């Protein structure tokens, strides 16, 4: 019998949680041979709705789902966790300054980092989805000194997938023909989707598309502002696509990326590409042996350099702000 993997999901009663849990339980997160135990972590007001979701999970009779537990205490919720998906976060309220937002999230991700440190399994892998994702991941990491720093990551896979889809639309190619796009920097409006190393059907994407105006005026802003466009159209923020990206991120982290192609994830910088060491920034990454590696040796042109630097500068400002607030 294969041992089940404990997967803790915070914000389990929210809309991303609702789109995520069924896919985890069906085997899409870890693969068709890995049984899972779900640990749903909510705030007390969210517990009842989480119980409803748990009832529906039971009613799916998933063969791989070996248990569901619901918690409103992070220490209990993360005990024994092998994978933690930190989805629940404090959204920006009306009139909230950036400092207030960072502080409110520090009040969530600091204690969650401590709880992970106290009781998660030795192989714990953490993906932060809740915004501001990169800096929330940094706060959790700083509060978990006994967990290797590289186990804390933040999600830019949704941005990556959005960029793939936009490029496929422009070029008329299938998504499956596109390789090696990169999202650099912060999961925010400053993120930089880079097509200069991408290929479409084996040809350089920048040659296939060859339209600088589209790149600057359409592609980059469309990818960066897609979240707002979804809210405008749907009346609610991205949920199923965000859950899908979280599945992709953890699946590739655990099972590896396909030979010859990379993806994007926000991981702690080792100083590569001039990104200050320790910032949790999005890079071109591959995964082998259950660990992310930053793709090395890419030429970064002037156009890309300026945009990467701007997004990384924003990350450094966020880090300095949370340091100033005593959160890291
Ligand atoms: P919802 O408001 O639907 O759900 C959030 C849930 O989190 C609620 O049920 C709430 O009770 C719970 N929660 C709040 N604080 C908690 C805590 N301390 N412990 C446990 N649970 C807690 O939001 P949803 O649409 O699911 O979005 C969740 C987060 O994902 C937001 O921060 C959102 O900004 C972020 N997103 C991140 C994306 C990314 O690409 N990184 C894209 C999608 C999404 O916008």
Protein residue with least CA distance to atom 38, ligand 1 = 129
H or E element in which residue 90 lies: none
User: Looking at ligand 1, which atom is closest to the CA of residue 45?
Assistant: 11
Q: Is 187 a catalytic residue?
A: yes
70 phi and psi angles, rounded to 5 deg: -120, 135
The answer for residues whose C-beta is within 8 angstroms of residue 14's C-beta and 6 or more apart is: 46, 87, 88
Distance between CA atoms of 171 and 167, rounded to whole angstroms? 6
Q: What is the pLDDT of residue 1?
A: 63
Q: What is the pLDDT of residue 317?
A: 97
The answer for residues whose C-beta is within 8 angstroms of residue 102's C-beta and 6 or more apart is: 132, 135, 318, 321, 322, 325, 327
Q: What is the pLDDT of residue 2?
A: 85
Q: What is the pLDDT of residue 94?
A: 82
8 Å CB contact between 179 and 270: no
Q: What is the pLDDT of residue 72?
A: 98
Query: Per the structure block, which two tokens stand in for 103?
Result: 């502080």
Query: Per the structure block, which two tokens stand in for 85?
Result: 């998906």
The tens-digit pLDDT sequence of the chain (328 residues) is: 689 999 999 999 999 999 999 999 999 999 999 999 999 999 999 999 999 999 999 999 999 999 999 999 999 999 999 999 999 999 888 888 888 899 999 999 999 999 999 999 999 999 999 999 999 999 999 999 999 999 999 999 999 999 999 999 999 999 999 999 999 999 999 999 999 999 999 999 999 999 999 999 999 999 999 999 999 999 999 999 999 999 999 999 999 999 999 999 999 999 999 999 999 999 999 999 999 999 999 999 999 999 999 999 999 999 999 999 999 9
Three-point CA angle 260, 267, 70, nearest 5°: 110
Ligand 1 neighbours, Cβ below 6 Å, are: 10-11, 13-17, 41-43, 46, 87-89, 91, 108, 129-131, 133, 155, 158, 187, 227, 237-239, 242
pTM of the full structure: 0.98
Structure ipTM over 0.90, yes or no = yes
Distance between CA atoms of 171 and 177, rounded to whole angstroms? 11
Q: Which residues are annotated as a binding site for substrate?
A: 92, 98, 131, 162
8 Å CB contact between 136 and 109: yes
Catalytic residue among 187, 197, 249, 251: 187
8 Å CB contact between 284 and 264: yes
The answer for residues whose C-beta is within 8 angstroms of residue 128's C-beta and 6 or more apart is: 86, 109, 134, 136, 137, 140, 152, 153, 154, 155
Distance between CA atoms of 198 and 206, rounded to whole angstroms? 8
Three-point CA angle 284, 285, 291, nearest 5°: 160
Q: For the chain, which domains are there?
A: 5-154 (3.40.50.720), 157-318 (3.90.110.10)
8 Å CB contact between 268 and 152: yes
Residue 133: closest CA among 156, 100, 107, 163 = 156
Structure letter (DSSP) for residue 185: B
Which residue is associated with the tokens 């607030």?
Answer: 325
Instruction: Name the maximum alpha-carbon separation found in the chain.
Output: 56
Q: What is the pLDDT of residue 236?
A: 94
Q: What is the pLDDT of residue 179?
A: 98
Instruction: Give, for ligand 1, the residue of 12, 47, 84, 87 to mutate: max count of ligand atoms closer than 8 Å to Cβ.
Output: 87
Instruction: Give, for ligand 1, the residue of 9, 227, 237, 281 to mutate: max count of ligand atoms closer than 8 Å to Cβ.
Output: 237
Distance between CA atoms of 150 and 281, rounded to whole angstroms? 12
Stated length of the chain: 328
Query: Per the structure block, which two tokens stand in for 318?
Result: 């966020």
- What is residue 42's three-state secondary structure? coil
8 Å CB contact between 84 and 116: yes
197 phi and psi angles, rounded to 5 deg: -110, 0
Q: How far is CA 268 from the centre of its chain?
A: 13
């Amino acid at each position: 019998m294969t041992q089940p993997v404990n997967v803790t999901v915070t914000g389990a009663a929210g809309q991303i949680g609702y789109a995520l849990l069924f896919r985890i339980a069906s085997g899409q997160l870890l693969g068709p041979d890995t049984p899972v135990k779900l640990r749903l972590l909510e705030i007390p007001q969210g517990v009842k709705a989480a119980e409803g979701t748990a009832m529906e999970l039971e009613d799916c009779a998933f063969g791989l789902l070996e248990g569901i537990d619901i918690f409103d205490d992070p220490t209990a919720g993360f005990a024994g966790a092998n994978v933690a998906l930190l989805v629940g976060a404090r959204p920006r309220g009306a009139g909230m300054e950036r400092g207030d937002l960072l502080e409110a999230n520090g009040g969530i991700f600091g204690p969650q980092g401590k709880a992970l440190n106290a009781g998660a399994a030795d192989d714990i892998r953490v993906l932060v989805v809740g915004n501001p994702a990169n800096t929330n991941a940094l706060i959790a990491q700083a509060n978990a000194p006994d967990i290797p720093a590289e186990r804390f990551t933040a999600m830019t896979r949704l941005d990556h997938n959005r960029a793939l889809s936009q490029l496929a639309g422009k070029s008329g190619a299938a998504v499956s023909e596109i390789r090696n796009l990169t999202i650099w920097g912060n999961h925010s409006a400053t993120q930089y989707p880079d097509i200069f190393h991408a290929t479409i059907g084996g040809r350089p994407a920048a040659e296939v598309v060859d339209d600088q105006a589209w790149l600057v005026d359409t592609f980059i802003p469309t990818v960066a502002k897609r979240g707002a466009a979804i809210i405008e159209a749907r009346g609610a923020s991205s949920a199923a696509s965000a859950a899908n990206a979280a599945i992709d991120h953890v699946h590739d982290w655990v099972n590896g990326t396909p030979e010859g192609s990379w993806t994007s994830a926000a991981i702690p910088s080792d100083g590569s590409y001039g990104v200050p060491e320790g910032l949790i920034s999005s890079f071109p990454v591959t995964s082998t042996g259950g660990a992310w590696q930053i793709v090395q040796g890419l030429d970064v042109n002037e156009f890309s350099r300026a945009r990467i630097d701007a997004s990384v500068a924003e990350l450094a400002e966020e880090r300095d702000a949370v340091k100033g607030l005593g959160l890291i």
